[in-house]
């Protein structure tokens, strides 16, 4: 019986004169996310976004739309002409339909009246509709205004009436593409996919950079990262992954630098390569999954030395999070099961027995003088593979 899905946004509503920019981008992103289902009518009306359901499966629409950043909740609803008596009847029909499949003993009505010419206030509407529902259904059904099993929501607007029973949570945030572009250093672990997802949730478009050490790392390892990128694409749309073989650089570091500096110098090369590619692709920042103290290169001293290798900002959304918190998000967004598949990555190649945990920038830069840094970076980028990731 539903004919629309309501999509609600949150902080977009306080964007002032720029609000329409965010609204229009959100509508466009919703349309793009629903393309696989067909050509649906998505439109904004008086501070709301509606998706016409018609012959489409509303549950599939909600499942896809809830992944669109900027949406805080969705509701399958019935939308019709401004008619209060019909609004009461539709509320009754929705509640009866609910009671056919669930044991409902308590309910409440929450009304909203934006049509100020209507004779009742919102509170009076709730009382009137609630009384009507009780009189029509009877039995053991009771009103519970504090913890109802079902909340019947009725809206009387100037342009239409709307009725619905549930709100399905979205992820919130800001519409993708409203806050620039970032280059995510994506590994096969748990952290970096979560970091990319969190930055995308704030409206940042993503490009991906992945490092491998083939043939020391396998094709399966690369395929695992591509699968993680595909999962991210369910939230971010089409993604482009730049795949760089770090092995030639690692061999040079292993031969010309101290063993304990292997990890931190490798990390600096990763950042330098990512920055060069990022700038060429119009990215405004790098994004990593680093968290303070999680591994040897992620001490404050290590992060400081890593930061010094690049000039553009580095976003670390997980920086103060515990591993358990990161795992919870990974499970929620669907990357966890893929991330824990046991495959080697480039960081395990030439892994020092005792990596330096408090590196000094002066010493690291002195060691790097033994390497032709720019040549190694240029060769790595020249041999880079680029893959477009889609569902």
Going by the annotation, the residues of the binding site are 185-186, 210-211, 267, 289, 298
How would DSSP label each residue in 181-240? EEEEE--SSSHHHHHHHHHHHBT-EEEEEEEE-TTTS-HHHHHHHHHHHHHHHHHH-SEE
Taking CA atoms, 345 is separated from 82, 217, 223, 266, 386, in Å, by 60, 6, 12, 13, 18
End-to-end CA distance of the chain: 31
Q: b/e for 252-266, b at 16 or more Cβ within 10 A?
A: bbeeebeeebbbbbb
Binding-site residue numbers for ATP are 185-186, 210-211, 267, 289, 298
Give me the half-sphere count of Cα atoms (radius 13 Å) on the Cβ side of residue 350: 25
Task: Tell me how far apart the alpha carbons of residues 165 and 284 are, in angstroms, rounded to a whole number.
Answer: 43
Question: Tokens standing for 172?
Answer: 């919130």
Nearest to 305 by CA among 357, 247, 238, 377: 357
Q: Distance (Å, rounded) from C-alpha 129 to C-alpha 85?
A: 10
Place of tokens 């650089």: 249
Helix, strand or coil, per DSSP, at residue 85 = helix
3-state secondary structure of 91: helix
């Amino acid at each position: 019986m539903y004919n629309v899905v309501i999509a609600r946004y949150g902080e977009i509503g306080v964007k002032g004169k720029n609000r329409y920019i965010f609204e229009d981008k959100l509508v466009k992103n919703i349309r793009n996310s629903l393309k696989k289902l067909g050509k649906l009518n998505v439109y904004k009306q008086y501070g709301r976004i509606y998706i016409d359901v018609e012959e489409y499966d509303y549950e599939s629409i909600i499942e896809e739309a809830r992944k669109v950043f900027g949406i805080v909740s969705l509701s399958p609803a019935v939308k019709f002409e401004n008619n209060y008596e019909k609004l009461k009847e539709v509320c009754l029909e929705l509640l009866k339909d609910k009671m056919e499949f669930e044991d409902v003993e308590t309910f409440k009505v929450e009304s909203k009246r934006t049509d100020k010419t209507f004779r009742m206030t919102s509170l009076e509407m709730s009382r009137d509709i609630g009384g009507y529902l009780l009189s029509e259904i009877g039995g053991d059904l009771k009103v519970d205004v504090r913890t109802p099993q079902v909340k019947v929501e009725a809206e009387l607007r100037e342009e239409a009436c709307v009725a619905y029973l549930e709100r399905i949570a979205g992820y919130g945030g800001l519409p993708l593409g409203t806050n620039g572009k970032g280059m995510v250093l994506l590994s096969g672990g748990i952290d970096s996919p979560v970091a990319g997802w969190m930055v995308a949730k704030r409206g940042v478009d993503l490009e991906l950079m992945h490092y491998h050490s083939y043939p020391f790392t396998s094709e399966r390892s690369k395929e695992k990262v591509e699968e993680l990128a595909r999962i991210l694409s369910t939230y971010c749309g089409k993604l482009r992954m730049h795949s760089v073989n770090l092995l030639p650089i690692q061999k040079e570091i292993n031969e010309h630098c101290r063993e304990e500096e292997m990890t931190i110098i490798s990390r600096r090369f990763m950042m330098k390569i990512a920055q060069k590619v990022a700038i060429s692709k119009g990215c405004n920042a790098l994004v990593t999954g680093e968290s303070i103290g999680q591994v040897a290169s992620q001490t404050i001293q290590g992060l400081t030395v890593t930061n010094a290798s690049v000039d553009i900002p580095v976003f670390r959304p997980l920086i103060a999070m515990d591993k358990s918190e990161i795992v919870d998000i990974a499970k929620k967004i669907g990357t966890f099961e893929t991330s824990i598949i046991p495959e080697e990555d480039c960081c395990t190649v030439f892994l020092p027995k005792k990596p330096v945990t408090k590196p000094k920038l002066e010493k690291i830069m002195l060691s790097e003088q033994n390497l032709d840094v720019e040549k190694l970076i240029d060769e790595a980028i020249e041999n880079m593979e680029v893959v477009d990731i889609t569902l």
